[in-house]
Structures are given as C-alpha cells and as structure tokens.
Amino acid sequence: MVSPDRTGVKNCTACHADDRWKTKPSRLACGSCHDNIWFGSPATMPAGSKMHDGGQRNDDAGCSFCHPADSGGDAPVSKAHKVSAHKVNAVDISMTPPANGQYYASADDATGVSITLTVKDDAGNPIVHTDVTDVLVSAANLYVYGPREQSKPVLTNIAINGISNLRGSVTNNTAASGSPAAWTFAAGDKFKIAINGGAVLDLEAPEGAKTPDDVVAWLNDAFAANDAGAKASKSGTTKVKIDSLLQGGESSRIDIYDSAATTTMGWKPAGVTMEPYVKMGTASSQNVDLRELTSIDPTLDYVDPDVTRNAGNITYALRGEFADLTPGTYCVYTYFIPKAGKIKSFSNPVALALKTFQVGTATEEPEVAANCADCHGDSIMHLYESHVHPAPFDVDYCNACHDYAHYGTGDAFVNQGGTSTNGWSGFGAVPISRRVHGVHYGKYLEHSEQIYANEDYFKDVIFPQDVRNCTKCHADNPKWKEEPGRVPCLACHDSDEAKSHGTLMTYDLTPDDPYGGDEIETCIICHGSDSFFSPDTVHNISNPYKPPYPREPAEEE
C-alpha cells in the first residue's frame, strides 16, 4: 500500500494494539512488506529476489536473535520502523472577541474584527515579525473560510474581490541547463504568444544558446516593440516568468501557443496540446500573503492593505459582513515557512496553526471527518513537495484550499479535454470530498488520474479495511448518509456510466459549467436516508461481512 505521508507505512502502532509487531517477528509478517527477501534455499531463489542477509531460514525461531524488539542484535524492529516526527513550531492565533461573547453576528460588522498572529521560534519565543519579508520567508499565508459544510473563502480582501486584483502570469517548465545554463534556439524558431487577449505575436527567437538573462532581455524588447502589455523576468536562476501589465480578472491573461521556442522552454505543461494554453490572473487558493513584498511593482501588483506587521505580531483586519455568512463553524489557518537560516532561532521547517470560530450560532458544526489521525498519526503532509503547503491530516486544515469556491468553469484538467482555466479540475478534484474518497479507493478506480493533477499518483492505494465502512471517518457526522451528491459519490463510483447517471439525474441551467452552483441534484430521491439505495444500506458491512473488492491488488500480466 502506498503511504501518502511517505513515512506512515512504518507506523506499526497505528494498527497494532499490542507489541507483537516487534516482539514476534516472522518470515510471513515481515516478508509481506519486504517481499523481495528470500528465506529459502539459495538454489530455489526466484529471479529478482534478494537472499536474506542471515541466510536460509526454515522457521521463525531465530528471528528475534537478529531482530529484537528495541535494542541489540543486527536490526531491532522498533529502530527499523521508527517514524521521525515532523518538528513544527507554533503560531498563536487570537481574534477580537464577538460582541455577544459566543459567536460573530451583525453587531460585529460595525465594530470590526481583527486576527492577531504570533509566530514562535524553535524555543517557543515570538520571532521579530517585521522580518516577515519575501527576502527572509518563503511563505506566510493566512486563510479564512467556512462553514465546515461546503467551505468557501470569506472575510478577506481576496475572498471578496476574487481575481479582480490579480495579474495573468506564467513561468516556463523546462529549466535552462548546461554551463552557463541556457536554451538553444535554431534559426527561424518562433515564440508564439498573445497578451491580454490581443493579437497573436509570432516572435523570432535569437539563434544559438541563450541564458535566462538573454531571453528576458529579448522578450522585453519584443513586448515593448509590439506594445504588448507584458513583462518578462527571471524566475530563480534557470527559468523565466511572463507577467501581464494589466490588473484585473479574466482580461489579464497570457496565451501560450505551440511553437518551436515555447516548446524548447516548456511553456506548456507536459501533455497539454490545446491551443492556446491560457494563464489568467486566477488564484489556486485564496490566501492572504502576510509578507512584505520587496520585489514587486506596487503600481501593478496587489498588496493587501489590511496586513499590519509589528515587531511582536501580525494583524489582519477582516472585511465583509458576518450577517451575510451561513451560520456555522469557520476556520482561521496559517502557516509560516522561513528560508533556511534566515530567521534567528528558527531551524524547524514550518510553524502552523488553526483556530475555529462561530458565526451566527453558538452550536459547533460536527467535523466532516474526525478520525484521520487514527491511521496518519501526527504526520504533516505537503511539507516537502515542490508546492509546499503543510498541514496535518485534519479536514479543517484541508478545507483551506480544497474548498467549494468555483474559480473557473468545466470539470476536467486540460489533459482530459477541459479548458486551461478550469476551477474544479479533474471532475471535482478541488473539493476535499472528491480528493479524499478518490485517494482511499485509488487502486480500484477507473480514472485514478482524475484525482490528482492528471497523474496516477494514488493508483496503488488500498484502504486497509472495507472501504464501505463510512463511519470509520464519519462517525460523528451523519450527513454522509443523509445528503448524497455527485462530488463525494462519483469519487469512488467514477466510471463513465456513473458519471452519465449523475448528469442525467441533475438539472443544470449551464451545462457547460456542470459545477457552477446552479445545478439541482435529485440524488436524494433514490439515495436519501432510509431509501432502498441509501448510502448506509449499500455500504452496510455488518450483515454479512463481505469485502466488495479483493484485499490484494491483482498481479500484473
């Protein structure tokens, strides 16, 4: 089984209630994961296997001699299975108290509400918050969203204004290489691009090996000559970024076309062939950047005016009106990632925290899923990937990005026939219900590539029990059986036939945008609570118990 957190598969205590996992090692138990180790006669060892370091073993009597529980021997079991906990620093989050002492309501709209963040170093002491700049800090993001049921960004400038303050921007994917790092263009190579919806420019690339600085200079000269409204700059040391000079929503855009030079530099993601590939001023997640931005053009780039950096903390003044929000439980989530060695006494990779608050009601909503830590423990995900956005395995955190806002149209990645401006890419992959259900059923999906970025990243995941056991994750929230819908259900039931059924049972005023929010789903008629096809009926695992799929993946032909 693939472990999504990359280390949790070693966490034996997540499943084992006693110590036999380390006190009684055996060929059968250990060989189930270390399946290339051969314990039998060397003469009969299958191709591709590796002989056990301790030689042939005909029984398990001597396993504990070399593999004792905790210490001694050649390889103690607990030492080999030690899971290194992520060291995470704290952030104190406080808010202006609600006027009624319990929840925020219309009375708080007049007085105003602010969030105060205090980031701690390794020793638990506050950092100097005026150091939170893009020179010293890789990311300092703030998210405000809710309610738990159908979370959306709220109360911040970007939540209210959407993409109207952002600019179209695209960075090439193929880094310059060699010494000096460069791309090589042939005579007559063209760079094909359109800026802000204008005419397509067919720019002739300079011949020969060209460094990122050379390309930036050439593109800026070409943009100026054509009054194109864009600016090129270096991204890091080996890539180039192109920004629109126009601020504002869908009118600010960069259209990249297939051409010799754009292909050489990889301006389109791998596998994307649509014409053009469009990058507009959209946000993949609606976060507030808490850093002082030193490398931007203040006349063009948006700087949130409600962020205040003091030596002792950072404050953010909320916008919007509580009276307009759906009553429920809302979240404030923040994470802080310093650049290595730049913040004094801060060597751990991240500081993060989450705080909930009530709007319109003192009654807390049940968590969407509350038992993730039973299997994942205190692991932190998304901490070491190229797009770092760390969070524990807790749906309240996940909803910050995997929300139910709708940033674009369509229901598929560009690789799957959608548009390059899709907001719910991968047939609803952005909302957390689609992602989590699909991940845990990854081995048995027909379209596992639709769960994550058009890649089969989770295709071998097998849930370590009957996947129909919905109460394993949803023990405290009955809505899984009361409110069936296309997004969660079609995550596992992902065949073309199932998708067609979901479409047929939905009245959609805008069929080109099947998740735009104006759809009327009729799922509850046949799949509502206590109906013959209700989720709790078809997902009943108790009488009789019969797993709906094999416990082991089928062998490859």
Nearest to 384 by CA among 6, 91, 83, 120: 6
**Any idea which residue has 């920004």 for tokens?**
243
In this predicted model, what pLDDT tens digit does every residue of 60-105 receive, in sequence order? 998 999 999 988 888 899 888 877 667 899 999 999 999 999 999 9
Whether residue 426 is contained in a domain is answered as yes
220, 246, 280 — which closes off a domain? 280
**Any idea which residue has 């071998």 for tokens?**
460
**Could you give the angle at the alpha carbon of 66 between the alpha carbons of 63 and 70, nearest 5°?**
100
pLDDT at residue number 427? 41
Provide the pLDDT confidence category of residue 548 given band limits of 50, 70 and 90.
Answer: low
**Residue 391, H or E segment:** strand 391-392
54, 80, 106 — which closes off a domain? 80
Whether residue 444 is contained in a domain is answered as yes
Examine the domain organization and report whether 51 and 117 are in the same domain: no
Considering all CA atoms of the chain, what is the largest pairwise distance in Å, rounded to the nearest integer?
83
Whether residue 403 is contained in a domain is answered as no
Examine the domain organization and report whether 442 and 516 are in the same domain: yes
In this predicted model, what pLDDT tens digit does every residue of 177-195 receive, in sequence order? 999 999 999 999 999 999 9
Whether residue 548 is contained in a domain is answered as no
Residue 557 has pLDDT above 60, yes or no: no
Nearest to 125 by CA among 341, 339, 316, 343: 343
Whether residue 555 is contained in a domain is answered as no
In this predicted model, what pLDDT tens digit does every residue of 455-510 receive, in sequence order? 788 888 888 778 888 888 998 888 889 989 998 999 999 999 999 999 999 998 88
Examine the domain organization and report whether 244 and 339 are in the same domain: no
Amino acid letter, 320: G
pLDDT at residue number 1? 32
Examine the domain organization and report whether 124 and 198 are in the same domain: no
> Residue 391 corresponds to which tokens in the numbers above?
């969070």
| Residue 448 CB-density burial (10 A; 0-12 exposed, 13-18 middle, 19+ buried) | buried
pTM of the model: 0.81
pLDDT at residue number 428? 47
Range of the domain at 224: 169-280
Per the structure, how many domains does the chain have? Answer: 4
Residue 454 C-beta-side C-alpha neighbours within 13 Å: 16
Provide the pLDDT confidence category of residue 4 given band limits of 50, 70 and 90.
Answer: very low
**Residue 351, H or E segment:** strand 350-359
25, 51, 80 — which closes off a domain? 80
Whether residue 16 is contained in a domain is answered as yes
Whether residue 438 is contained in a domain is answered as yes
pLDDT at residue number 11? 73
Residue 408 has pLDDT above 70, yes or no: no
**Residue 192, H or E segment:** strand 190-195
Examine the domain organization and report whether 426 and 513 are in the same domain: yes
pLDDT at residue number 250? 74
Examine the domain organization and report whether 421 and 530 are in the same domain: yes
In this predicted model, what pLDDT tens digit does every residue of 14-24 receive, in sequence order? 778 788 889 99
Whether residue 556 is contained in a domain is answered as no
Examine the domain organization and report whether 418 and 505 are in the same domain: yes
In this predicted model, what pLDDT tens digit does every residue of 238-250 receive, in sequence order? 999 999 999 876 7
**Backbone dihedral region for residue 391 (phi beyond 0: left; psi -120 to 50: alpha; all else: beta):** beta
**Range picked from 52-56, 279-283, 352-356 for highest mean pLDDT:** 352-356
Q: CATH code at 317?
A: 2.60.40.3880
Examine the domain organization and report whether 157 and 179 are in the same domain: no
Examine the domain organization and report whether 510 and 449 are in the same domain: yes
Residue 267 has pLDDT above 80, yes or no: yes
Percent of the chain residues topping a pLDDT of 70 = 89
Secondary structure (3-state) at 514: coil
Residue 433 has pLDDT above 80, yes or no: yes
pLDDT at residue number 18? 85
Cβ neighbors of 366 (< 8 A, separation 6 or more) are 148, 476, 477
Q: What distances in angstroms separate CA 355 from CA 284, 332, 348, 489, one per listed residue? A: 22, 5, 21, 30
pLDDT at residue number 82? 79
How far apart CA 288 and CA 307 sit, in angstroms, is: 8
To the nearest whole number, what is the mean pLDDT of the chain? 87
Sheet holding 201-204, edge to edge: 201-204, 190-195, 253-256, 277-280
- Of 82-96, 139-153, 532-546, the least confident: 532-546
**Any idea which residue has 């797009």 for tokens?**
387
pLDDT at residue number 258? 93
Secondary structure (3-state) at 397: helix
Examine the domain organization and report whether 424 and 533 are in the same domain: yes
Examine the domain organization and report whether 311 and 378 are in the same domain: yes
Examine the domain organization and report whether 212 and 230 are in the same domain: yes
